[in-house]
Structure 1
């Protein structure tokens, strides 16, 4: 027997299109509030005329408030969003996308959030929220959570709340990497500290450069304070990490010309933990980094890889070709569809 949604798709497809549009408007307002109509129309790619009509309807249903500071979602609207989430995933086909992606990438599990973070900045917030929920489900009695840097990990930190863990669960956040010269707010140390602050838990930082020479590496890792943090990292039962575009990460690290040439000649498309991968998942270059390494991941119970956007599709697929068995991929609709479209 066909489900009600399947019947609606056949007999009332226009109704489902309107539902999806209004749901997306509500979601966008909830992430961007207070937000002006012009800003929202640009973010969603809708004309101001269409958006004005839809917002007036949502206001009449007491789902949004409109003030001089901008539009915001009401408590009724927020509750409706939560109730609609499962239904909208089925309507948009995201559930099926997850099944297909899990099979294609041979992963333990895949979580896909709606949208494309390349075009809709608030989608990164959804990635953060999805990762926070999955991380919470992974908690046991004693937990060490190793965290890398990047804007996506920063979004995960923003999604954490005081009810992240209960009194029976010990949680320690530890920076899995040193700094790589990017904005301080996106470095692992900063993100790790923010996660601890928002969840009311403890953290340990790793105040060392991310990339060093072999000589410096041998010296630094023997320092008692550094050695202690590295030991904690190796004991982590949960690892959160992003997946980078190879060339973007190489430039961020201010890679030397000869090494950049090696990355280019190797046709690297993805990067994680200082390893650069080609589309087949082969390591074409590796930098000497301090912190968590790829070889450490097979011993970790839960590895959560978070990355989204169509532009990251090749990087995600490249990394996943050499991922540890326990990896769960958390991505968005844009990247997922692009990966599935690739042969």
Structure 2
């Protein structure tokens, strides 16, 4: 296959370039259908004139159809898109990029989905599907899975509806308390959705993500909280997101003193309540009840999900602290930006 691709690139490079353009158009239509031509052109950074000729070609070959609300794929278009997936990943160099990214970050495995979720938010759903597929392959007979919150993690939760968990016993449990923002994006809600979509069990952790040191010491004396924490720390699998430092601080309603610390310390990324600078040094840590950074090395499988060019610095900063067995599932937007910085 690699030799064939090399020969094609040498003999008909324009053909491969054209395929990539049309594949991207089909993929973007699938993610956003029904979608209008103007919006699609903006997403793909193409002129409407160029896009018009391409979609006319795709329509003439019955791969897309025009609807009142916009363009959509035909069944033939969906079949073609699915059939070309591995081939296009190879021609676009995604497999090589995955290996390169894993080496740069010092982790065991990276999975990169096409696109940039900053430009097309529905790319998060593709990240979610990729995470669900990886998780399916890691499941054993009995599993405790601890999860964090976030919009990408919510996409993972929705994607779990389509995996096969027959014969598997799974307990989903939040890694920590609520951070702020929409309830649907909280760890408790995501753990519950994952349990519902897989017919599994879940256990809640109803408390704020940030507590005072005094309150933390009191809560840790509660037998029920300690029992939940024991389950969290004995997890077989951790599914977690990675946040941009200042955005996460705002969601937590961080006090002015701590916000100044983050700004002066040039914090760029956040995970598990720890804030990191570009070099991966810990700038600040919030007082929390739940999974801690030092708990991670004892956990068998750790899967991080985060995408978008804007998350590149955050991902790179956190990964300097991640166990080397970690798996990262991201998108091209983040991956290319991370590699640019090397």
TM class, shorter-chain normalised? over 0.9
> Which residue matches 1:213?
212
> What RMSD over aligned residues (CA atoms) do the two structures have, in Å?
1.7
**CA deviations over 1:59-107 (Å, ceiling 9, x no partner):** 2323223221332223322222221111111111111111111111211
Shift of 1:278: 1.4
- Structure 2 Cα separation of the partners of residues 226 and 99 of structure 1: 41
TM-score (norm 1): 0.94
> Which residue matches 1:7?
7
- Structure 1 Cα separation of the partners of residues 297 and 121 of structure 2: 32
Runs of 4+, deviation exceeding 6 Å: none
Residue correspondence of structure 1 range 258-277 to structure 2 within 5 A: 258-277=257-276
- Structure 2 Cα separation of the partners of residues 208 and 190 of structure 1: 13
Are residues 92 and 200 of structure 1, via their aligned partners in 2, closer, same or farther at CA, if it must alter by over 3 Å? same
SS in 1 for 2:161: coil
Bigger shift: residues 304-313 or 33-42: 33-42
* Count of residue pairs the alignment pairs up: 342
**CA deviations over 1:265-286 (Å, ceiling 9, x no partner):** 2221111001111111111210
**CA deviations over 1:122-170 (Å, ceiling 9, x no partner):** 22221111111111111111111111011111111122224x2332111
Structure 2 gaps of 5+ residues are none
- Structure 2 Cα separation of the partners of residues 75 and 237 of structure 1: 40
> Which residue matches 1:68?
68
> Which residue matches 1:297?
296
Shift of 1:221: 3.0
User: 1:176·1:292 contact (CA, 8 Å) conserved in 2?
Assistant: yes
- Structure 2 Cα separation of the partners of residues 63 and 227 of structure 1: 56
Residue correspondence of structure 1 range 68-147 to structure 2 within 5 A: 68-147=68-147
> Which residue matches 2:154?
154
> Which residue matches 2:286?
287
Structure 1 gaps of 5+ residues are none
**CA deviations over 1:2-35 (Å, ceiling 9, x no partner):** 6222112122111111111111111112111222
Shift of 1:51: 2.5
- Structure 2 Cα separation of the partners of residues 139 and 58 of structure 1: 40
> Which residue matches 1:194?
193
TM-score (norm 2): 0.95
- Structure 2 Cα separation of the partners of residues 113 and 107 of structure 1: 17
> Which residue matches 1:321?
320
Are residues 229 and 63 of structure 1, via their aligned partners in 2, closer, same or farther at CA, if it must alter by over 3 Å? farther
User: 1:35·1:71 contact (CA, 8 Å) conserved in 2?
Assistant: yes
> Which residue matches 2:253?
254
- Structure 2 Cα separation of the partners of residues 161 and 61 of structure 1: 33
> Which residue matches 2:19?
19
- Structure 2 Cα separation of the partners of residues 54 and 225 of structure 1: 60
- Structure 1 Cα separation of the partners of residues 263 and 273 of structure 2: 15
User: 1:29·1:40 contact (CA, 8 Å) conserved in 2?
Assistant: yes
**CA deviations over 1:223-276 (Å, ceiling 9, x no partner):** 344333222211211111111111111121111111112222222111100111
Residue correspondence of structure 1 range 235-246 to structure 2 within 5 A: 235-246=234-245
**CA deviations over 1:209-231 (Å, ceiling 9, x no partner):** 00000111122233344333222
Are residues 224 and 78 of structure 1, via their aligned partners in 2, closer, same or farther at CA, if it must alter by over 3 Å? farther
Bigger shift: residues 318-327 or 64-73: 64-73
